[in-house]
Structure 1
Amino acid sequence: MVAEPALALASTIRHDGDGGVADDLSTLQGAARWLQQQSDLPEPPMDEALRVEIVALRRAVRALFARVVSPAPSSRADAHRLMPVEEALAHLNAVAAREPVVPLLDWPADGAPRTRMLSPEQDVRVRLLAGLARAAIDFLSGPGREQLRACSAPRCVRYFLKSHGRQEWCKPSCGNRARAARHYQRHRTTDDSP
């Protein structure tokens, strides 16, 4: 699982291992499974309306991720069908605004201070969607945004946080695939020359 909720949401579109793209949110069962894997999010019962709303939010987040990594190429999964940036911003902000929250400072005697959000909202669906939108807003406006990259490996469609200076791929298997593709291309070019 990805640590950041915004990255976890964006990562529900991924390479399927066979040269295609898998969408973890394409079915009710897949969406429910993904939600169960997110430990810090409310877990309302999954239905088609909620699944569609989560997918729409993901579409906005991925469009804004593409803006962050620009002028480098965005993810190949949705580069051809990105939501316009203004529409993505409006959607993200509207979803976040569905839940009124108040920050509270919690400072235990034996620990560090932390902020927690208090909400009068009773609808767990609203809390889930607004929480995901706020997590994306926090990520996009925070320092982690500077480390966001689109994986450059062939067929990979993920975004990741660059953790060291030379990192180009989201995981080692993507690096292996990229090196194998370069090797194949070099040898194919050499074999094709007259």
Structure 2
Amino acid sequence: MGSPEGLALDLAVTIRHDGHGGVADDLATPDGLTLWVRAHADALGADVGADGFTADEEVRVAVVAVRTAVRTLFARAVRPGPPSSADAGRLPSAGEALERLNAASARVPVSPCLDWPDEGLPVASHHVREGAVESERLAAALARSAIAFLAGPRRELLRACPAPRCVRYFVKEHARQEWCKPSCGNRARVARHHARRKEGQPPG
């Protein structure tokens, strides 16, 4: 599920609208993180060992720290637009977020590797230092994904969904896209309709 680049966005949207006017956190427990990591095993790669992964509180805290940094930098990336309403007044400074992200990435050094089979094309990959603890390996993989996303061209397409109660970030895939998903667009249109009726204006 997802691509290595898309991991940063998938991590950020583990903070979401709960369907009842509040905010849900998919990573609030180690079990929640376990499910999320296993669902993203392909994107995380073999270095994390996501297929048989089981989170504990130490790993969860490390991942949530990376997520907080990612959402802080997403809030910066969408300027001059507003950040997600879930983040208002709750995030560290951008400088602190950068330090946190870079520190998480640096905990597990990565070496580029080249593989060139006799009957195939050369393939670049990377080798992760042996001996890193599980929390470091997962946090580093997520931090590197966020760094790649924020330094890449899709950062300019990042938006905070403006629909009522939505707290998600999304990548704008086409010029007319305004919301993260169709249900948010429907909710926004209904909210506008009710607002017009309340003000005594004709709907339209």
For normalisation by structure 2, the TM-score amounts to 0.87
- Out of 7, 21, 24, the position equivalent to 1:22 is 24
Q: Would you say 1:140 and 2:142 are equivalent positions? A: no
Deviations 1:135-185 (A, max 9, x none): 000000011111111111010001111001121100000000011100110
| CA RMSD between the two structures | 1.7
Give 2:77's aligned residue.
68
Deviation at 1:67, TM superposition (A): 0.3
Instruction: Classify 1:7/1:103 alpha carbon distance in 2 versus 1 (closer, same or farther; 3 Å).
Output: same
Give the 3-state SS of the residue equivalent to 2:85 in structure 1.
coil
Give 1:172's aligned residue.
182
Mark the runs of 5 or more structure 1 residues left unpaired by the alignment.
none
Give the 3-state SS of the residue equivalent to 1:77 in structure 2.
helix
4+ aligned runs moved over 3 Å, structure 1: 105-111
Q: Aligned partners of 2:104, 2:26: CA distance in 1, in Å?
A: 21
Instruction: Classify 1:101/1:72 alpha carbon distance in 2 versus 1 (closer, same or farther; 3 Å).
Output: same
Asked whether the 8 Å contact 1:100–1:121 carries over to 2, the reply is no
Deviation at 1:110, TM superposition (A): 4.7
Instruction: Classify 1:107/1:156 alpha carbon distance in 2 versus 1 (closer, same or farther; 3 Å).
Output: farther
Q: Would you say 1:155 and 2:182 are equivalent positions? A: no
Give the 3-state SS of the residue equivalent to 2:124 in structure 1.
strand
Asked whether the 8 Å contact 2:7–2:145 carries over to 1, the reply is yes
Q: Aligned partners of 1:145, 1:107: CA distance in 2, in Å?
A: 33
Deviation at 1:82, TM superposition (A): 1.4
Asked whether the 8 Å contact 2:63–2:135 carries over to 1, the reply is no
Asked whether the 8 Å contact 1:121–1:127 carries over to 2, the reply is no
Q: Would you say 1:33 and 2:35 are equivalent positions? A: yes
Percent identity between the two aligned chains:
57
Give 1:129's aligned residue.
139
Deviation at 1:125, TM superposition (A): 2.8
For normalisation by structure 1, the TM-score amounts to 0.91
Deviation at 1:55, TM superposition (A): 0.7
Give the 3-state SS of the residue equivalent to 1:17 in structure 2.
coil
Say how many residue pairs are matched: 190
